[in-house]
Structure 1
Amino acid sequence: MTRIAVILGSTRPGRNGAAVAEWVYDNAAARNDAEYELVDVEDLGLPLLDEQVPPSMGHYSRPHTQAWAERVASFDGFVFVTAEYNHSIPGALKNAIDFLYAEWNNKAAGFVAYGSAGGTRAVEHLRLVMAEVQVATVRGQVALSLFHDFVDMSRFEPGPRRAQELAVVLDQVVAWSKALAPLRRVSAG
């Protein structure tokens, strides 16, 4: 079965992302088109990138990198839940992505972002990062507003159309993940 990771990218204390990621995961897990797993970057315990060899060489020397590589390799696609910090993604998320290369290749990704401008600028940056690690990004995305989808900018209460937007993202990520499967098989062979 197709495996999709819902990756929570913020590690900030008191982060809004935990509630958003749980909402994404709960909606996804209620479907029967793929197996979904919630992955929290905070739980990975990754230091700042500490591998001496570039990830594209595929020689991971650190146990934490090897464990992260094995986990990412087990997925066919991703839904990134990201905050927008200073017009971009959280540093912890970028760091987690930067540790690996081949494990990301030929997979699909969608985005659920939040911030004062719906996290759209973070997603723009994340799309560029994904392109570099050969991840195909889907068009659909969920842009959650701190002003309209959160009470007092802290308690997540998504508007009624948000579940429909998320369904589009999940549909696209699953479809693209399945469509890219032959490329992953060729790369593995």
Structure 2
Amino acid sequence: MSRKPKIALVIGSTRDTRFAEKPAQWMLEQAQARTDMDVELVDLKDFDLPLFNEAASNMWMPSSDPKAVAWQEKMDEFDGYIFTVAEYNHSITGALKNALDQAYTQWVRKPMTAIAYGGTGGARALEHLRGIAVELQMVPIRHAVHIGGGDFMAVHPMGKNGPISDIEAHIAPSAKTALDDLVWWANATMTARDADQAKAA
């Protein structure tokens, strides 16, 4: 296997007044500065997904809604995922949960990490996301980026609304560690998936 992992950085909020684009763009810059992965920004707003209304997940039967199928086809392009995680009432956004439910086979045996934010750094939401990821047979890695407390208010529009560069010294080490781990696991799972496909051929 010689190809680099292809990673999706998924903006996990669709609110008109969302903050998600700001940390997503910063995380995108961190990933693009590396030579061991290819990364693409994927915005849930661009897919206009309906609420999940299929007879079953696509693990059991093909989805009927063209928007769901388009989402599945896009997610199938990637070898791993970085999610932006806003904490809404101790969990992830409804939009992100719905997007996760709209696919299944595309997630299997692929790693994920996150850049999470909120008063407690999005920690509670990210723990929920990791539990969902396990059920979807993803590989949730330990390391992630958390923007919380004073750092969160330093960059959020309801606080000082400064650039992410104002807190970069606090979060850049976590980003590097998370991306290092994501690439390791992406390479490992790509190798294993390729071996499975070769056996099945």
TM-score range, shorter chain: over 0.9
For structure 2, which runs of at least 5 residues remain unmatched after alignment? none
What does the per-residue CA deviation read over 1:128-162, in whole Å, with 9 as the maximum and x for residues that have no partner?
00000100111111110153244373224334131
Residue of structure 2 equivalent to 1:91? 94
Q: Which residue of 2 aligns with 1:178?
A: 187
More displaced 10-residue stretch of structure 1: 175-184 or 122-131: 175-184
Q: Could you say what secondary structure the match of 2:41 adopts?
A: strand
Spell out, residue by residue over 1:5-60, the C-alpha distance to the aligned partner (whole angstroms, 9 max, x if none).
01110112221111000000111111111110001112111011122233321412
Name the CA distance, whole Å, in 2 between partners of 1:137 and 1:56. 19
Tell me, yes or no, if structure 1 residue 76 matches structure 2 residue 85: no
From 60, 64, 72, give the equivalent of 2:63.
Answer: 60
One-letter amino acid matched to 1:172:
D
Aligned residues of 2:11 and 2:42 also touching (Cα < 8 A): yes
Cα deviation, residue 116, structure 1: 0.6
Provide the C-alpha distance between the structure 2 equivalents of 1:152 and 1:138, rounded to a whole number of angstroms.
26
Query: What is the distance in 2 between the residues matched to 1:15 and 1:151?
Result: 16
CA displacement, residues 98-129 of structure 1 (integer Å, 9 cap, x when unaligned): 01111100100011100011000000000000
Secondary structure of the corresponding residue to residue 82 of structure 2: strand
Question: Which string of whole-angstrom CA distances, capped at 9 and with x for unpartnered residues, describes residues 64-111 of structure 1?
Answer: 111111111110000111100000000000000001111100100011
CA separation of 1:91/1:187 partners in 2, compared to 1, >3 Å: closer, same or farther? farther
Confirm or deny that 1:168 pairs with 2:182.
no
Say which structure is richer in strand.
Answer: 1
The whole-number CA distance in structure 1 between the counterparts of 2:144 and 2:117 is 11
Separation of aligned partners in 2, 1:58 and 1:5: 25
CA contact (8 A) 1:9 1:40 kept: yes
- The equivalent of 1:111 in structure 2 is 114
Q: Structure 1 residues 187 and 57, CA, compared in 2 at 3 Å: closer, same or farther?
A: farther
Counting only pairs closer than 5 Å after superposition, residues 1-189 of structure 1 correspond to structure 2 as 1-145=4-148, 147-151=150-154, 153-154=156-157, 155=161, 156-157=163-164, 158-185=167-194, 186=196, 189=200
Name the aligned partner's letter for residue 123 of structure 2: T
8 Å CA contact 1:104–1:135 kept in 2: the answer is yes
Q: Which structure has the larger Rg?
A: 2
Asked if the contact 1:84–1:113 (Cα under 8 Å) also holds between the matched residues in 2, the reply is yes
In 1, distance between residues paired with 2:155 and 2:72?
A: 38
Unpaired runs of 5+ residues, structure 1, are: none
Residues 147 and 153 in structure 1, CA contact (< 8 A), matched pair in contact too: no
User: Identity across aligned pairs (percent)?
Assistant: 38
